[in-house]
A and B are shown apart, each in its own frame.
Chain A
């Protein structure tokens, strides 16, 4: 499976180390449509590939510059051509959640893979019950999509709560860990589908907070990450026990992966 050329049509800086790239096919060939939760392998010429979840449809990716390849991708300007392979992996259960309340719980760059879910929920608002977005970040400067968050917040049919770990005196929002937003968020635990994405530690504690409120494990979905090379269930890198994150995930129901995540260094 070879990368297909895609051109950067828009580039936008989100925080000091993350950028959002909007991509379009460069010479006709295109990938199959992505679903929220799926990821692409993005190729920076000569440098390599990294797995990046789609952060808006049809093909928008928010990338954090943490290594050689991601930094090269973040350096790409409008008009530059990257390689795309995909879509890979499992999607967030937006269809299965119809009729229920939906709680979207994210931290840091974890909002990126869940943004297309919020887009879907808002575009099909009548199919869902209450919609809650809980977002935690390191500091106000490291929040993604702030303008969009404000637009969501401005609607009358969505609850949006943001909390940061640290802030200066000019921040007038919440300072605290994102799990503290769970107890008072407006959803019915017995009829809620929860979708969580963020650092694994944050996800573990977020799940605990949701379960404390009575959300059952099978209604909670998480997006996991492991080292990835081929993205097509052949190279063995992304295994978590018997699960291949690239193929059986990255989105999993919590009850399926909880026993595996409980084992240290699995």
Chain B
């Protein structure tokens, strides 16, 4: 059975952080497992929790009247789920649902935010790492916006 510290070492977004910072983060972390269909996040709530997905598939979706739940994106082992905890107004934008069994390390975002205020160095490092994640997601989303496979591309 791995300790939280060992698990953190495997998570991409925290890779290479110093032991001091890892300890601070570990203090806000715990193992959580979700079963088929269980929600990880719900739209428009206080964003106090974020997840590092260790294994499994999570569907990021939103409910559109007459269309039902529309999938925005799927996230997988190695991905981070949730960044609204880091930016005001700290509210979630989408639903996140487990497709099958999902193993995660869950983080208390409010707790980690407080630690970042106390330790700006930790805050800066996390800001940088999460910014990288967001940039990657933004680029990917922009590519999907192009609708390149459409009958007449873009139309």
Kindly identify, within residues 127 to 153 of chain B, every residue whose CB is under 8 Å from any CB belonging to chain A. Answer: 136, 140-141, 143-144, 146-153
Find out whether the CB atom of A169 lies under 8 angstroms from the CB atom of B71.
Answer: yes
Q: Is A146 an interface residue (CB 8 A)?
A: no
Q: Is the C-beta of A167 less than 8 angstroms from some C-beta in chain B?
A: yes
**Chain A residues in 8 Å Cβ range of B67:** 168
Residues of A within 8 A of B78 (CB): 184
**CB of A90 closer than 8 Å to a CB of B:** no
Closest to A138 in B: B149
Query: C-beta contact mask, B34-59 vs A, less than 8 Å → 1, else 0?
Result: 00000000000000000000000101
Determine whether the beta carbon of A142 is less than 8 Å from that of B149.
yes
Determine if A108 is an interface residue (Cβ-Cβ < 8 Å).
Answer: yes
- In the bound assembly, the distance between CA atoms of A192 and B10 in angstroms comes to 26
Residue B125 at the chain A interface, CB threshold 8 Å: no
Contact of A165 with B99 in the complex, beta carbons under 8 Å: no
Which of the listed residues A136, A174, A198 has the most CB atoms from chain B within 10 Å of its own CB? A174
Cα distance, A138 to B99, chains bound together (Å): 21
Any B CB within 8 A of the CB of A248: no
> Is A175 engaged at the interface, CB distance under 8 Å to the other chain?
yes
Give every chain A residue within 8 A of B17 (Cβ-Cβ): none
Question: CB-CB < 8 A to B151: which residues of A?
Answer: 17, 66
Instruction: Give bound CA distance, A243 to B65, whole Å.
Output: 51
Does B89 interact with chain A (Cβ within 8 Å)? no
Once A137-B149, A201-B148 are accepted as A-B contacts, the answer to whether A171 and B71 lie under 8 Å apart by CB is yes
Task: Judge whether B84 is part of the interface by a CB distance below 8 angstroms.
Answer: no
Q: Are B76 and A174 in contact (CB under 8 A)?
A: yes
Q: Which residue of B lies closest to A199 (CB)?
A: B148
Question: Are the CB atoms of B144 and A165 closer together than 8 Å?
Answer: yes
Bound Cα distance from A179 to B144, whole angstroms? 10
A174 CB to nearest B CB, Å: 5
Interface size, A (range):
20 to 34
B120 within 8 A of A: no
Asked if residues B76 and A165 are in contact (CB atoms below 8 Å), the reply is: no
When C-beta atoms are compared, the residue in chain B nearest to A167 turns out to be: B71
Interface residue count on the B side (C-beta < 8 Å): 28
A154 at the A/B interface (Cβ < 8 Å)? no
User: In the bound complex, do residue B146 and residue A168 qualify as a contact, i.e. CB atoms below 8 Å apart?
Assistant: no
In whole Å, how far is A175's beta carbon from the nearest beta carbon of chain B?
Answer: 4
What is the predominant secondary structure among interface residues of chain B facing chain A?
Answer: mixed
Of chain A, the residue at the smallest CB distance from B63 is A169
> Which B residues are CB-close (under 8 A) to A99?
none
**Complexed CA–CA distance, A173 and B58 (Å):** 10
State in angstroms the CA–CA spacing of A179 and B137 once bound together. Answer: 11
| A176 proximal to B (CB < 8 A) | yes
A168→B148 contact, CB < 8 A: no
Question: Could you tell me if B71 and A175 are in contact, using CB atoms closer than 8 angstroms?
Answer: yes
Point out the residues of chain A lying under 8 angstroms from B146, CB to CB.
201
CA distance A171 to B68 in the complex (A): 13
Is the CB–CB distance between B153 and A177 below 8 Å? no
With beta carbons under 8 angstroms apart, the residue of A66, A137, A173, A177 that contacts B143 is: A177
Q: Given that A138-B147, A165-B144, A165-B147 are contacting pairs, would A172 and B99 also be in contact in the complex, using a CB cutoff of 8 Å?
A: yes
- Residue-wise, chain B 55-91 has the 8 Å CB interface mask toward A (1 for contact) of 0010101000001111111101010000000000000
How far is it, in angstroms, between the C-alpha of A81 and the C-alpha of B76 when the chains are bound? 48
Task: Let me know if B149 and A165 touch, CB within 8 A.
Answer: yes
Q: Beta-carbon contacts of B103-119 to A below 8 Å, as 1s and 0s? A: 00000000000000000
Q: Chain A, 170-211, contact with B by CB distance < 8 Å: what is the 0/1 string?
A: 011111110110001000000000000011011001000000
Residue ranges of A at the interface with B (Cβ–Cβ < 8 Å): 17, 66, 107-109, 136-138, 142, 163, 165-169, 171-177, 179-180, 184, 198-199, 201-202, 205
| CB<8 Å pairs between A and B, sample of 8 | A108-B148, A109-B149, A167-B71, A169-B61, A179-B140, A201-B148, A201-B153, A202-B148
